[in-house]
Amino acid sequence: MYKLNMATIRKSKVGKYTYWQIVESKRIDGKPRPIVLAHLGTAEQLLYKLSKGPLEQKIRSVSHGAVELLYKAATSLELPYIFEQIFPAQKRDGLKVGQSLLVAALHRAISPGSKRAFASWASGTSLTEFINCNPKALGSQHFWDQMEAVNVEQLAAAEKQITLKLIEQNLFSPRLLFYDLTNFFTYIASKNERADLAKRGHNKQKRHDLRQFGLAQVVTKDFLLPIFSEIYEGNRTDKELFIPFLTRLREKLAELNVSLEEITLVFDKGSNSKGNFNELDQKNIHYVASLSSAYHPELLTVPLEHYREVALGDQSLPCYRTCCEVWGKKRNVLIYLSEKLRQGQIRGLTQSLEKKYALLKELKNKLNNPRAHKKKQETVQNKLNEILKGERGPELIKVSIIDQGNGRFDIDWELDLLACLYVTEEIFGKKILVTSQDDWSDAEIVNAYFGQSNVERVFKHLKNPYHNAVQPQYHWTDQKIKVHTFICLTGLLLSQLLWKKAKDLGYTYSIESLIDMLSDIRKADIVTLTGLKGKPAKVSQLEEMEPELNKLYQELLGSF
């Protein structure tokens, strides 16, 4: 026989969680016992039950496609393993050094930003699905500390292992390698003595007011895979860097068991000098390079009837081939004529002339200002020389200085139409190439040089503010600059591999478009509270996408 009492609410502690229950006290065989009538769940669940009802869904979606596929590209090259073996094992915020470098590389590839911006970006992606971390803990200090643990020897070892992996997977053919240099401006203060690499020089982004560092790079013909890079001081010229870089390239290729006889190095005229060509001759390294027409004007006067059409895939170009002395030795020379190149040079010349006209007009107005100070003719001439310098200014624009007496001068100018006609019709559109590959056909030589645009496109990617950018670059020491650039190049390599996968599948998107499209693929976590008992149900699924994008995504997934 038992007696029924009123129900009460009781809390129950299970582990670190507190739950609430409705219980009744009953006497069974004369002894009081609490009988659970209903489990109410946590206080939050009870509040929801009382205020809103028995069902709630919380949906949160994050960018998924680009992170997932770039991480798969990394694992296909075994980068997580390579980084773990080479870089220090120290942990910060749950990540080893190699893991921190890899997540930073993914950040640079998808959405370049400062290390401070990483947490915000990562929190909006599915990154934690692939690398277990708390994005909010990964601030700028995290990356600075992890980068500080890396030395130059470890970076070189990682680059070597990555290249070996490319060779193993038949992604690297040494037959044609493309060499070029560029520079990146920094915000390093003039008084900072901890960054010997950062110097003032001719900046290719026109930021001559800032210190810069240079990047020399060799990439493959197919899919622009970077295989060797070196950072150098920002005030050094292309010509003086060629031989030291060539020496280190030879050493690297030897480590990879690649014979120098297998390669042909393709480079532009910026690296031309007699010493550099002598070095290539002595080392028996084959090359295809461009020559400056200023040093070989006689080649530009060859009549067009001596040219012959050379088929280059779906197009053809007039070409003229001869043998002449270049840098103290008879060498094979080929000239090709491209209307596309000519039109581009004409557009560039037009823009240059317009700028010079504007500067000349500005100078004329200053000279005619009644309040202008007296000047010497030599001063006016020096200013004119500065305005006309470069891009055929002195050759095409004829300026006369008018002495008005008493230290007053005026200027007039006109375009030399005959000279302009000669330049645009007889010089523009012609490119002079020199090669040691005497047995190659005209088409092989021209196609090899056309591949030089590959490395230029790599640099274009590295200066793209939306993907793979080296900038913004806020590091103040040589060591940090080198680690930061390694991270950026790793991101670029992963992007290039993903791009190659898409190309192999028949897609023609650019790298930038491909990453943008994949970033639009979002993954949603749907948390549903269906009652007050048990844990909330959680389901993850991709958001609905266009059929074309879904097809691209599924095929890329299947390619790894």
- Return d(Cα 450, Cα 437) in angstroms, integer: 16
User: Is 491 part of a structural domain of the chain?
Assistant: no
User: Is 473 part of a structural domain of the chain?
Assistant: no
Q: Which residue has the tokens 């290390």?
A: 115
State residue 100's pLDDT score: 92
pLDDT in tens, 12-47: 888 777 888 888 877 777 777 787 877 777 777 777
Domain final residue pick, 493, 509, 525: 509
DSSP 373: P
User: Is 131 part of a structural domain of the chain?
Assistant: yes
Print the domain residue range for 211.
Answer: 153-338+429-463
Provide the 10 A C-beta neighbour count for residue 501.
22
At 366, the amino acid letter reads: K
- Pair type for strands 264-267 and 286-291: parallel
User: Is 126 part of a structural domain of the chain?
Assistant: yes
117 with 220, same domain: the answer is: no
112 with 168, same domain: the answer is: no
The average pLDDT across 318-347 equals 90
Residue 178's closest CA among 53, 272, 268?
Answer: 268
pLDDT above 90 coverage of the chain, percent: 26
- Return d(Cα 473, Cα 147) in angstroms, integer: 14
The average pLDDT across 487-492 equals 90
Does pLDDT of 65 surpass 70?
yes
Domain final residue pick, 373, 403, 427: 427
State residue 101's pLDDT score: 94
Does pLDDT of 532 surpass 80?
no
Q: Across all residues in the chain, what is the average pLDDT?
A: 84
The average pLDDT across 368-377 equals 85
**Which residue has better confidence, 208 or 66?**
66
State residue 471's pLDDT score: 64
User: Is 258 part of a structural domain of the chain?
Assistant: yes
In this structure, are residues 182 and 215 in contact, taking their beta carbons and an 8 Å threshold?
yes
Straight-line distance from the first to the last Cα atom of the chain, in angstroms, rounded to the nearest whole number? 71
104 with 83, same domain: the answer is: yes
97 with 203, same domain: the answer is: no
17 with 92, same domain: the answer is: no
The average pLDDT across 165-173 equals 84
Does pLDDT of 475 surpass 70?
no
162 with 128, same domain: the answer is: no
408 with 544, same domain: the answer is: no
Which contacts (CB < 8 Å, 24+ apart) does range 165-171 have?
165/77, 165/78, 165/82, 166/77, 166/225, 166/227, 167/256, 169/76, 169/77, 171/220, 171/222, 171/223, 171/225, 171/497, 171/500
DSSP 424: I
176 with 267, same domain: the answer is: yes
What DSSP string runs through 18-84?
EEEEEEEEEEETTEEEEEEEEEEE-HHHHHHHHHT-S-EEEEEEEE-HHHHHHHHHHHHTTHHHHHH
444 with 312, same domain: the answer is: yes
223 with 242, same domain: the answer is: yes
Task: State the Cα torsion 256-260-262-265 to the nearest 10°.
Answer: 110
Task: State the Cα torsion 377-378-383-387 to the nearest 10°.
Answer: 100
User: Is 468 part of a structural domain of the chain?
Assistant: no
State residue 319's pLDDT score: 93
State residue 525's pLDDT score: 82
pLDDT in tens, 193-202: 777 777 777 7
Residue 177's closest CA among 270, 286, 255?
Answer: 286
Does pLDDT of 3 surpass 50?
no
Q: DSSP alpha helices (H): ranges in 179-273? A: 238-255
Does pLDDT of 550 surpass 60?
yes
315 with 297, same domain: the answer is: yes
In this structure, are residues 62 and 125 in contact, taking their beta carbons and an 8 Å threshold?
yes
pLDDT band at 521 (very low <50, low <70, confident <90, very high): very high
User: Is 487 part of a structural domain of the chain?
Assistant: no
pTM as predicted: 0.75
404 with 454, same domain: the answer is: no
> Among 10-19, 76-85, 458-467, 487-496, where is mean pLDDT lowest?
458-467
Q: Tell me the residue length of the chain.
A: 560
User: Is 482 part of a structural domain of the chain?
Assistant: no
Domain count, the chain: 5
